[in-house]
A and B are shown apart, each in its own frame.
Chain A
Amino acid sequence: MMATTAQMPAPIQTPSLLPQKLRRSRPLFDPEILRRATKDSFLKLNPLKLAKNPVMFVVEVGAALVTLFFLRDAIAGRGLLGFKFQISLWLWITVLFANFAEAMAEARGKAQADALRKTKTDAVAKRFFAGGQIEIVPASQLRVGDVVLAEAGDLIPGDGEVVDGIATVDESVITGESAPVIRESGGDRSAVTGGTKVLSDHIRIRITSNPGETFLDRMIALVEGAERQKTPNEIALNILIAGLTLIFLLAVATLHPFALYSVRSAGTGAVPTIAVLVSLLVCLIPTTIGGLLSAIGIAGMDRVMQDNVLAMSGKAVEASGDINTLLLDKTGTITLGNRQAVELIPFAGIDELELADAAQLSSLADETPEGRSIVVLSKEKYGLRGRQVADHEAQFIPFSAYTRMSGVNIDGRTLRKGASQAIESFVRDLGGVIPKSFQETADRISRMGGTPLAVADGSKLLGIVHLKDIVKGGMKERIAQLRAMGIRSVMITGDNPLTAAAIAAEAGVDDFLAQATPADKLEYIKREQAEGRLVAMTGDGTNDAPALAQADVGLAMNTGTMAAKEAGNMVDLDSNPTKLVEVVAIGKQLLITRGALTTFSIANDVAKYFAIIPAMFMATYPALAQFNIMGLHTPRSAVLAAVIFNALIIIALVPLALRGVKYRPIGAAALLRRNILIYGIGGIIAPFPGIWAIDQLLALLHLA
């Protein structure tokens, strides 16, 4: 625990929970994006491309068929041309609207990719070759294992690891964060990313990825959606709507012979024309969801991206909606990450002031927040001013993971502070006595969630400093929200069980893993998964990599090591561990939007039957007029109104598809009830007034 905080220098951290977002987020209907999407929606009419979407492919084939029949009749001079023309027009519009939705979602990504791509061009590298000389080569010639030099002002030519030196680097091209970060050899801050810029000093970098495989390349591919693979749930949904399309194809195709029989047996009327049959088919097949499905998926990824999280696959985003267990690191995630000294507890016979003095002296050189907080506490509570150490013969002993203590040798005194066990053995070794109350006090502090820091002056144990973990504001509410989503939160900490339990209680987490080693973490994840749960975690260190890889959703911090970033399936560019909660919400939103629009799409069909079936057989069986409950004007206006409604609903729902249905953490049952009401029952009712209104308008305009 002290190990991480004692590391120098501290990385420059993103200051708040709400990171400054990339310039990536644009208004939903940015004019440039609109222009691009409009163009693309025509390009997407190419049947070879459309064939991937069975629903819209059927619509296109239908549109082509109706157009053909319209042309044939136009040449032959047969009647009802206006009607047939309008039907074929609206069928094409249906396809275009669906294309437009997809193009809109893609255009946003493409615009971002263009911006990123600009940073890639014409980078050069200063490559070392045998003998330590430097040659200038294009970045595209670098291979894994090459070592390059990057100096102030240079673009780092490729992904790599700092092997020598320390430098400040501007990573804003990746993270959107303008504050520079420090990169140095060794440890967890050694990874650099191609395309970022060195601001000061110089570093030697060993290249770790070949051109075309760099982080920036992957990022471009991701935002562009070029490598977009359908997610498992999306494929399943595609199967469902393809199946439904086939069923409706059967229902409509067989309607022709059924109509033939009926016309013969009733002795009157006519069999519905191809235009009307195709209209019925297009109205019935789930065009709404079929047209919007891929847009929903792309937009979901885009929303993740706008949160400054890079998801390596859509599958990971989808899986995050399913998370059952969330592993949260205590330090930096649940708590503020720096403990504050709140109390000094001297042992019997020791003056409080003596303890304060020793504590302050031993902390003077300690630049960690804990160390500074001890200095401050001594000053404020005991009036001890910070002294200039230069006045004394002082030798500072830095913290080491081996000794687990730090301190100062000053004026012949050996002042030490550190973990209670470490100080205890230090005092014993010098022949000192351990007061009976020592263990008791240390335990008491632990139980309260604090960290006991013992202070000794040579063999004399002076007392204990109570360091307290401060739980972040709003944490408890977040955890409660997670619980409402059905997610168990588990706190991971290196603290002892007593301390961990107290913090866990304060933060309201469901479980905790104390004195956790990376191996414990991995074990815990495996155990959860064996019980059928999906686990998400965040991590940044190299030793987190196995657990990140094992977890179903592993969110790596961008400040972390390359190993961690490669093991996880998402990278948070803001390096904000609580971001997982947002990602979970986006994953859920993605699934809800799909479900809502599928339900809506299918529910819509009821009204369309009421519009089209009586219209089809008005002449054969006038009795079916009883089904015309909307009172549509004529059979033709009824069919046309249904087709137009069907097309308009797609474009009307584009914003919803791109933004996503709002997710509320109110529990599954309540959420389901709400969404069924809106999209199920609403989906049945909504088309009735819609079709009626269009029919009125058509009659008014004498279009049918």
Chain B
Amino acid sequence: MTPNGMLLIAVYFAVVLMLAKPIGVHMAKVFEGRRTLLHPIFRPLEVLTYKLTGVDETAEQRWTHYTFALIAFSAFSFLFVYFLQRLQGLSPFNPQEFAATNVPPDLAFNTAVSFVTNTNWQAYSGESTLSYFVQMMALTVQNFASAAVGIAVAIALVRGFARQQVTTIGNFWVDLTRAVLYILLPISIVAALFFCSQGVLQNFHAYTHVTTLEGATQIIPQGPVASQEAIKMLGTNGGGFFGANSAHPFENPTPLTNLVQIVLIFLIPAGLTYTFGVMVGDRRQGWVIFSACSVMFLAGVLVCYGAEQKGNPVLSKLGIETAATPGQPGGNMEGKETRFGIAASALFATVTTDASCGAVNGMHDSFTPLGGLVPLFNIQTGEVIFGGTGAGLYGILLYAILAVFIAGLMVGRTPEYIGKKIGQKEVKMAMIALLSTAFSILVFSAISSIVSFPSPGKGATGQPVARSYWNPPGPAAANVANSGAHGFSEILYAYTSGAGNNGSAFGGINVNTPWYNLTIGLAMLIGRFLFLIPLLAAAGSLAAKKRTPTSAGTLPTHGPMFVGLLVGTVLLVGALTFFPALALGPIVEQFLMNQGKLFSFLLFPILGV
């Protein structure tokens, strides 16, 4: 680890810390319906929105109706995205004339689910699959919409704590509209212009054919990238315009844009911790969440950075420099960009999985096992380290509920958080949310580890067997690009990323088959809606409760003790759930790598080097 790398991390953290309060205050104002600096411009647009969509701004909703509205909106969003893809052959803004055949139903389903659930898992490569029209009208829209839905749910849950003895938790349509108009859109406009000024594309041209210096032909892609890039980071969506995502020089051309991109990832999630403090009337509560996130973030980034900078001992035997020198970054550069080097890549990988972003500026698949374990475990703990836009806050509040419930008993009172008694309903909802994620990660990974598809030919009883539609013949696990423990990590990461609505990948695995498209799609749906609906139910039950005033007998949730408790709960729950799986993936691979053991590609046995 170099002083320069550490400085980058420190500066990054300082910027996030400085921005958390102003953006947090702004969001609190927006959702409490107070006037902000943006009102002169966006208030008329907000009023127009309600007029056009027939929404009553003043009507409050119970949690059930809030949820119904959310589901209805997500359902229509899904249909829009699905059919826009399937009809892309007819669309304008399609200079490359990409056809609907590029997007078969299983892929269109997967992609639609992916963008509606804020996952942005991409089984396709953007530059060779989708028209500009689909990228804008389907994907960019959902980058806004799914992020706004996340923020709305978080705010609804915060209202559950802030309000007392009421039946309603806000109005979904109003929260959605305000999140887009006052938060996502203004910041995206500024960020998009900045990105473009640094070299990110923004045009509707056809791809440029060039003859290179050595006389070869190269086709340089074009498109409206900057406008999507801004919201892709800000909304913690992470779906790249191009296959290589933020590693692509047209998406993330310089170290400066790189810094801005990761700041954008944490901007809203970090701000929301402050918003939480403001809305519940005790800013210390917000800072506690912020601190817990910070501790986990810093620990994660240091482990990841350390592992990546240490590099791959197997390769250093071949005479490769793994130590950093003034002229080159050293470490494990496989899958990383020269301009970013080790520190910025490890930082990006940590941040993008702390949050549910999933954009990548380096290929996680080629990280060292320990370096890759950090992103994987980050997602498995529920992406609560600042987390996704809104999703991070409601995720960590779930852990706060659990921490308070388990440890809070030890002060001899029915556990309370923000003055609300944590009872059966809250615990039940938290457990459902936790279980649904664990279920979709573990069960789908387990099935794909062992399921096998028949080869065409004669079956056991002699009847003809057709080629399976779902996957190429043989084990589904054969879709991995690396054998052995690493191949298992690829499968595990795929479902982890889907269930966690992250979208990053150990990208070697071929997931563009109906089997993976369907199962990962289901994992994304479960991870999103069976996580978010229980929390809305908890919001409803919390809002109905009285707020107990604090006393010397109340569990204090505003000090370092609670930070430790919260961090401990997140890590322990995550570790206990996923340790067996991780032991057979990245953990054993790290031990093997240190011992210089390799997996041959074709056959499975471990080789010594």
Give residues in A with beta carbon < 8 Å to B: 232-233, 235-237, 239-240, 242-244, 246-248, 250-262, 264-268, 280, 284, 318, 321-322, 324, 483-488, 530-534, 587-589, 591-592, 594-596, 598-599, 602-603, 605-606, 609, 613, 617, 621, 623-624, 626-627, 663, 667-669, 671-673, 675-676, 679-680
Shortest beta-carbon distance from B410 to chain A in Å: 4
Query: Please, which residues of chain B bring their CB within 8 A of the CB of A321?
Result: 412-414
> How would residues 486 to 525 of chain B score, 1 for a CB under 8 Å from any chain A CB and 0 otherwise?
0110010000000000000000000000000000000000
A262-B488, A669-B556 known; A254 vs B591 contact (CB < 8 Å):
no
Beta-carbon contacts under 8 Å, B336-392 to A: none
Query: Please, which residues of chain A bring their CB within 8 A of the CB of B591?
Result: 621, 623-624, 626
Interface residue from A232, A266, A588, A679 paired with B423 (Cβ < 8 Å): A232
- Does any Cβ of A come within 8 Å of B428's Cβ? yes
- Determine if B604 and A486 form an interchain contact, defined as CB atoms under 8 angstroms apart: no
Q: Which of B57-65, B264-272, B400-408 contacts A (4 or more CB under 8 A)?
A: B400-408
Report the count of interface residues on B (CB-CB < 8 A): 74
Q: Across the two chains, which residue of chain B brings its CB closest to A590?
A: B412
Interface residue from B402, B549, B583, B604 paired with A266 (Cβ < 8 Å): B604
Q: Which of B107-115, B235-243, B285-293, B439-447 contacts A (4 or more CB under 8 A)?
A: B439-447
- Determine if B442 and A250 form an interchain contact, defined as CB atoms under 8 angstroms apart: yes
Shortest beta-carbon distance from A467 to chain B in Å: 36
Taken together as a complex, chains A and B put the C-alpha atoms of A484 and B411 apart, in Å, by 12
> How would residues 557 to 601 of chain B score, 1 for a CB under 8 Å from any chain A CB and 0 otherwise?
001010001001000100111111101100110011001010100
A321-B412, A617-B583, A623-B595 known; A599 vs B427 contact (CB < 8 Å):
no
Interface residue from A239, A672, A679 paired with B431 (Cβ < 8 Å): A239
A672-B410, A679-B410 known; A243 vs B431 contact (CB < 8 Å):
yes
Beta-carbon contacts under 8 Å, B427-464 to A: 427-428, 431-432, 434-435, 438-439, 442-443, 445-447, 449-450
- Determine if B592 and A251 form an interchain contact, defined as CB atoms under 8 angstroms apart: no
Taken together as a complex, chains A and B put the C-alpha atoms of A262 and B488 apart, in Å, by 8
- Determine if B583 and A624 form an interchain contact, defined as CB atoms under 8 angstroms apart: yes
Taken together as a complex, chains A and B put the C-alpha atoms of A252 and B576 apart, in Å, by 11
Q: Counting chain A CB atoms within 10 Å of each CB, which of B576, B603, B606 scores highest?
A: B576
Interface residue from A264, A591, A626 paired with B412 (Cβ < 8 Å): A591
- Does any Cβ of A come within 8 Å of B477's Cβ? yes
Interface residue from B443, B483, B599, B605 paired with A250 (Cβ < 8 Å): B443
A-B contact pairs, 20 of them (CB 8 A): A239-B424, A244-B431, A250-B577, A251-B578, A257-B446, A258-B581, A264-B604, A265-B484, A485-B412, A487-B551, A532-B419, A532-B549, A596-B410, A599-B410, A613-B580, A626-B591, A627-B583, A671-B411, A672-B407, A679-B410
Taken together as a complex, chains A and B put the C-alpha atoms of A251 and B491 apart, in Å, by 16
- Does any Cβ of A come within 8 Å of B55's Cβ? no
Query: Please, which residues of chain A bring their CB within 8 A of the CB of B432?
Result: 243
A257-B446, A266-B606, A602-B572 known; A240 vs B580 contact (CB < 8 Å):
no
Give residues in B with beta carbon < 8 Å to A: 164, 402, 405-414, 419, 422-424, 426-428, 431-432, 434-435, 438-439, 442-443, 445-447, 449-450, 477, 483-485, 487-488, 491, 546-549, 551-556, 559, 561, 565, 568, 572, 575-581, 583-584, 587-588, 591-592, 595, 597, 599, 603-606
Taken together as a complex, chains A and B put the C-alpha atoms of A260 and B578 apart, in Å, by 17
Shortest beta-carbon distance from A117 to chain B in Å: 34
A261-B477, A624-B583, A667-B552 known; A267 vs B603 contact (CB < 8 Å):
yes
Shortest beta-carbon distance from A611 to chain B in Å: 12
Shortest beta-carbon distance from A259 to chain B in Å: 7
Query: Please, which residues of chain A bring their CB within 8 A of the CB of B431?
Result: 239-240, 242-244
- Determine if A488 and B551 form an interchain contact, defined as CB atoms under 8 angstroms apart: yes
Query: Please, which residues of chain A bring their CB within 8 A of the CB of B551?
Result: 324, 486-488
Taken together as a complex, chains A and B put the C-alpha atoms of A395 and B241 apart, in Å, by 108
Q: Across the two chains, which residue of chain B brings its CB closest to A605?
A: B576
- Determine if B604 and A613 form an interchain contact, defined as CB atoms under 8 angstroms apart: no
- Determine if A672 and B411 form an interchain contact, defined as CB atoms under 8 angstroms apart: yes
- Determine if B410 and A675 form an interchain contact, defined as CB atoms under 8 angstroms apart: yes
Interface residue from B414, B428, B450, B577 paired with A247 (Cβ < 8 Å): B577
Interface residue from B561, B577, B581 paired with A669 (Cβ < 8 Å): B561
- Determine if A265 and B488 form an interchain contact, defined as CB atoms under 8 angstroms apart: yes
Shortest beta-carbon distance from A553 to chain B in Å: 13
- Determine if B580 and A266 form an interchain contact, defined as CB atoms under 8 angstroms apart: no
- Determine if A591 and B595 form an interchain contact, defined as CB atoms under 8 angstroms apart: no
Given A239-B427, A247-B577, 10 further pairs, Cβ under 8 A: A237-B405, A247-B434, A261-B491, A267-B603, A284-B576, A324-B553, A485-B553, A591-B409, A595-B407, A676-B410
Query: Please, which residues of chain B bring their CB within 8 A of the CB of A624?
Result: 583, 587-588, 591
Taken together as a complex, chains A and B put the C-alpha atoms of A592 and B411 apart, in Å, by 6
Q: Across the two chains, which residue of chain A brings its CB closest to B592?
A: A623
A251-B580, A267-B606 known; A239 vs B435 contact (CB < 8 Å):
no
- Determine if B487 and A621 form an interchain contact, defined as CB atoms under 8 angstroms apart: no
Q: Counting chain B CB atoms within 10 Å of each CB, which of A324, A621, A679 scores highest?
A: A621
Q: Across the two chains, which residue of chain B brings its CB closest to A528?
A: B549
- Determine if A533 and B435 form an interchain contact, defined as CB atoms under 8 angstroms apart: no
- Determine if A258 and B407 form an interchain contact, defined as CB atoms under 8 angstroms apart: no
- Determine if B583 and A254 form an interchain contact, defined as CB atoms under 8 angstroms apart: no
Which 6 residue pairs of A and B lie closest in terms of their CB atoms, listed nearest first?
A486-B553, A595-B409, A588-B412, A243-B431, A486-B551, A623-B591
Taken together as a complex, chains A and B put the C-alpha atoms of A259 and B485 apart, in Å, by 11
Taken together as a complex, chains A and B put the C-alpha atoms of A254 and B448 apart, in Å, by 11
Q: Counting chain A CB atoms within 10 Å of each CB, which of B438, B487, B555 scores highest?
A: B438
- Determine if A247 and B552 form an interchain contact, defined as CB atoms under 8 angstroms apart: no
- Determine if B409 and A598 form an interchain contact, defined as CB atoms under 8 angstroms apart: yes
Q: Counting chain A CB atoms within 10 Å of each CB, which of B434, B580, B599 scores highest?
A: B580
Interface residue from A242, A258, A264, A679 paired with B445 (Cβ < 8 Å): A258
Query: Please, which residues of chain A bring their CB within 8 A of the CB of B581?
Result: 251, 254-255, 258
- Determine if B583 and A324 form an interchain contact, defined as CB atoms under 8 angstroms apart: no
Query: Please, which residues of chain A bring their CB within 8 A of the CB of B446?
Result: 253-254, 256-258
Q: Counting chain B CB atoms within 10 Å of each CB, which of A248, A267, A668 scores highest?
A: A668
Query: Please, which residues of chain B bring their CB within 8 A of the CB of A264?
Result: 604
- Determine if B407 and A265 form an interchain contact, defined as CB atoms under 8 angstroms apart: no
Taken together as a complex, chains A and B put the C-alpha atoms of A312 and B578 apart, in Å, by 44
Q: Across the two chains, which residue of chain B brings its CB closest to A268?
A: B605
A258-B449, A599-B406 known; A252 vs B414 contact (CB < 8 Å):
no
Interface residue from B409, B548, B556 paired with A592 (Cβ < 8 Å): B409
- Determine if B410 and A254 form an interchain contact, defined as CB atoms under 8 angstroms apart: no
Taken together as a complex, chains A and B put the C-alpha atoms of A395 and B554 apart, in Å, by 60
- Determine if A324 and B548 form an interchain contact, defined as CB atoms under 8 angstroms apart: yes
Taken together as a complex, chains A and B put the C-alpha atoms of A531 and B605 apart, in Å, by 68
- Determine if B450 and A261 form an interchain contact, defined as CB atoms under 8 angstroms apart: yes
A483-B552, A488-B551 known; A239 vs B561 contact (CB < 8 Å):
no
Query: Please, which residues of chain A bring their CB within 8 A of the CB of B484?
Result: 265-266
Q: Counting chain A CB atoms within 10 Å of each CB, which of B546, B556, B559, B579 scores highest?
A: B579
Q: Across the two chains, which residue of chain A brings its CB closest to B442?
A: A254
Q: Across the two chains, which residue of chain B brings its CB closest to A262?
A: B584
Query: Please, which residues of chain B bring their CB within 8 A of the CB of A663?
Result: 412
Query: Please, which residues of chain B bring their CB within 8 A of the CB of A244?
Result: 431
Q: Across the two chains, which residue of chain A brings its CB closest to B416?
A: A322
Taken together as a complex, chains A and B put the C-alpha atoms of A322 and B546 apart, in Å, by 14
- Determine if B428 and A239 form an interchain contact, defined as CB atoms under 8 angstroms apart: yes
- Determine if B552 and A668 form an interchain contact, defined as CB atoms under 8 angstroms apart: yes
- Determine if A591 and B407 form an interchain contact, defined as CB atoms under 8 angstroms apart: no
A484-B552, A485-B552, A671-B412 known; A257 vs B435 contact (CB < 8 Å):
no
Q: Across the two chains, which residue of chain A brings its CB closest to B597?
A: A623
Shortest beta-carbon distance from B411 to chain A in Å: 4
Query: Please, which residues of chain A bring their CB within 8 A of the CB of B579?
Result: 251, 609, 613
- Determine if B419 and A254 form an interchain contact, defined as CB atoms under 8 angstroms apart: no
Q: Counting chain B CB atoms within 10 Å of each CB, which of A239, A318, A589, A626 scores highest?
A: A239
- Determine if A668 and B556 form an interchain contact, defined as CB atoms under 8 angstroms apart: yes
Query: Please, which residues of chain A bring their CB within 8 A of the CB of B555?
Result: 668, 672
Taken together as a complex, chains A and B put the C-alpha atoms of A613 and B578 apart, in Å, by 12
Query: Please, which residues of chain A bring their CB within 8 A of the CB of B414?
Result: 232-233, 318, 321-322, 591
